[in-house]
Structure 1
C-alpha cells in the first residue's frame, strides 16, 4: 500500500542542504519572545514579545531594528503578513485581530480591528489569495473571514472539544486541518457556497501536539515529548487517514516556546520543533521521509520560523536571549 503513495518530485531540491549560522547574533530584550515572522519578500521581520511587536528591517540575512509598538492589550499569539496589501495581521489574548500597514505599525496606528471572538485568538491562517482568513480560538471556535473591500466574518464553527491552537491549509488551500485539545478536524470548502464543512474528525489522546499538512495528502503529527514524528496519509476519496511512516527524533522531558511546524513546498522541507531540538525533514525523494538535520539548543524555550521560501531560519531561545539567523546552503 505504501508504494502507491507518491510525493511530487522537485528536481531542484538539494539533498545535501543544511542550515548554517550566518553573520552576527542579535541581542534581544530579556522579556520572552513568543513569535517570529519573516515577510514573503524577505525585507521585514516581526518579533512578538508579550503585548508588543518589534519591527526589523531584513536585508541579505542581516537585521536592523526599526521600532517597537504596543500592539495589543494582552499577549500576542499569532502574526501573519499580507503581501498583496502590504499589511500585517496580529491575533491576541485580548480577543481581537488587528490589521496593520507594515509602514503604519511603527507609529502604533492599526487600520482595523476585527471583533467577534469571545476569548483569546490563538492561531490564524491565510489562503494564497489573501482573501480568506481563519482564526482558531480558546472558545473552541473556528471563525472564517472573507475580504471584499473589508474583512467580514461569514462563518463560525464550534465543534471542537477544547481550545483551537493550530491551523494549516493544504497545498491548494481547499482543505483545512484544525487542532484542539484531544481532537483533530479536516474541513473542505464547498465550491458553490464557499462555506466550510467537516469531512473528518478524530479524537486524540494528546492535549498538546503539533500538526501540519504536507502537499495535499500527507499530515505530520508530533505529540509533545514524543520520540517519533508520525506521517499520516489522508485518502481524499475515502476521507480516511492511515499511518504512512514514523521518523525517530531526539526526545526531551520539557517543551516550551512557540514554533509551529512548517512545510516549505519549494524545497520539500518540513521543520519541526521538539523540546530543545529543531529538526529538518527532507521529503524530496518521493516516499523517503528522512531526518536530514537536527539543531540542538540549551533549553526548550525556543521561538522561530522559516521564511516562506525556506532560505532563512530565525530563532530565539531563552538561554542566549538572542536572535540567531541561519541560511539554507
Structure 2
C-alpha cells in the first residue's frame, strides 16, 4: 500500500492546451461549472449564463440564459430526484435555482434573497440537500431543501452565521457533511460543525483562527484535514486537528506564485480519481498530492498563465480544464496528459 502511494505521487502529467477548441469570449466569465458526467458546461458571461454541450473537449452552445443587469459570480450543479439543477449567485445578492430541463423557458425554480450584498462563494453538501453561501455582507447562510412533492423542493434559509467582520471569501464542506470551514477579508478562519437532525441542519462554531493574511481559497482534502492558500502567499498551508481537537497548521508547502495580485474566483477542487487537488495562486494553478501515509503535501505540477485574471473549473474526473483568459478574451480547453519520460 505504501509503495502504491509513493508511485502515485511520482506520476508526471500536464494539462495540454487544445488550441483548436478555443472559443472567443469578450464578456467577463467569473464562474465556470461542469455537471457530474461532463456533458454540460455552464459559463457565466457578465449577467448571462451560456450553456454548452461538452463532448470530448468540443463545446457547442445550446442556450443562453438571460438574467438581470447584475454580474453572476458563482455557479454550481446539483442533483435533486435524479434531475440536474444548478445554483447561481450574483452581485445583486440573489441566488437562483434552475433546472436543466427548463432551459428554454428561461424561468428559475426559486429565487433566494436572504443576503444583503453580492454572493461571493457557495458550496453544496454531499447529499445535495443543503448548501452554504457566503457574501460581501459578512454573513454565512445555511440553506436546506424541504420536499414539497415528488418532483420539487423549496430551499429555505435555516441559519445565519455572523462570525466574520468583513466579506466572506471562501467556504467548504467535508464529504461526511459534518464539518465546514470559511475564510474572509477579516483575516479570520471559522471552523464549524454541521449537525443534522432528520431534514434540518445546524452550524455550530467550534473554533476561530486569526491569520496573518486573508485568503480566497480553502478546501477539505479528506474528512478532517483542509488546506488554506493565503493571498498570493509563497506557501500552501495544511491544517489538522491536534490532541485537543483544535486545528493547527502542520505543514507549509512552497508553491508557485508570481508576485502579482489574485482574484476571488476560481475555486480549488479535489479530484478524487487522480488523487490530487488544484489550487490557484496568482498566475499559477498548483496541483498538489496529499500522501495519507505520512500526511505530507507534495507539489506535482504547476500550470503558469501569463496573467492572473483566469477563471475556470476542472471536470469531476480531472480529464479537462476549462478557463477563461481575460487578456486573450477566450475560453480555453486543456486536457490531462501523462508525460512519458522515455519518449521525451
TM-score (norm 2): 0.86
Q: Following TM superposition, by how much is the alpha carbon of 1:10 offset from its aligned partner in structure 2, in angstroms?
A: 10
Within the candidate set 322, 325, 336, 1:328 is matched to 336
Greater CA deviation, 241-250 or 309-318? 241-250
Q: Following TM superposition, by how much is the alpha carbon of 1:160 offset from its aligned partner in structure 2, in angstroms?
A: 1.0
C-alpha separation in 2, matches of 1:285 and 1:132: 29
Greater CA deviation, 99-108 or 294-303? 99-108
From the superposition, tell whether residues 120 and 16 of structure 1 become closer, same or farther in structure 2 (CA, over 3 Å): same
Q: Following TM superposition, by how much is the alpha carbon of 1:14 offset from its aligned partner in structure 2, in angstroms?
A: 7.7
* Structure 2 SS opposite 1:103: helix
C-alpha separation in 1, matches of 2:255 and 2:267: 19
Q: Following TM superposition, by how much is the alpha carbon of 1:240 offset from its aligned partner in structure 2, in angstroms?
A: 2.8
Aligned residue pair count: 323
Who is 2:190 aligned against? 185
Who is 2:275 aligned against? 268
Q: Following TM superposition, by how much is the alpha carbon of 1:232 offset from its aligned partner in structure 2, in angstroms?
A: 2.2
Q: Following TM superposition, by how much is the alpha carbon of 1:260 offset from its aligned partner in structure 2, in angstroms?
A: 1.6
C-alpha separation in 2, matches of 1:286 and 1:55: 41
C-alpha separation in 1, matches of 2:253 and 2:121: 27
Who is 1:306 aligned against? 314
Greater CA deviation, 110-119 or 252-261? 252-261
Within the candidate set 74, 80, 83, 1:78 is matched to 74
Who is 2:254 aligned against? 247
Who is 1:56 aligned against? 52
Kept after mapping to 2: 8 A contact 1:257/1:300 = no
Greater CA deviation, 208-217 or 282-291? 282-291
Kept after mapping to 2: 8 A contact 1:257/1:301 = no
Who is 2:342 aligned against? none
From the superposition, tell whether residues 151 and 62 of structure 1 become closer, same or farther in structure 2 (CA, over 3 Å): same
Runs of 4+ in 1 over 4 A off after TM superposition: 8-14
Q: Following TM superposition, by how much is the alpha carbon of 1:255 offset from its aligned partner in structure 2, in angstroms?
A: 2.1
From the superposition, tell whether residues 293 and 101 of structure 1 become closer, same or farther in structure 2 (CA, over 3 Å): same
Q: CA RMSD in A?
A: 2.4
Deviations 1:227-249 (A, max 9, x none): 21122223485223232232332
Q: Following TM superposition, by how much is the alpha carbon of 1:28 offset from its aligned partner in structure 2, in angstroms?
A: 2.5
Aligned residue runs from structure 1 range 114-193, under 5 A: 114-149=112-147, 150-181=154-185, 182-192=187-197
Confirm or deny that 1:18 pairs with 2:14.
Answer: yes
C-alpha separation in 2, matches of 1:290 and 1:12: 11
C-alpha separation in 2, matches of 1:297 and 1:238: 39
Gaps of 5+ in 2: 148-153, 338-344
Kept after mapping to 1: 8 A contact 2:263/2:282 = yes
Deviations 1:138-179 (A, max 9, x none): 211111111122111111111211111211111312100111
C-alpha separation in 1, matches of 2:213 and 2:68: 31
Gaps of 5+ in 1: 1-5
Q: Following TM superposition, by how much is the alpha carbon of 1:134 offset from its aligned partner in structure 2, in angstroms?
A: 1.1
Q: Following TM superposition, by how much is the alpha carbon of 1:295 offset from its aligned partner in structure 2, in angstroms?
A: 1.4
Who is 1:3 aligned against? none
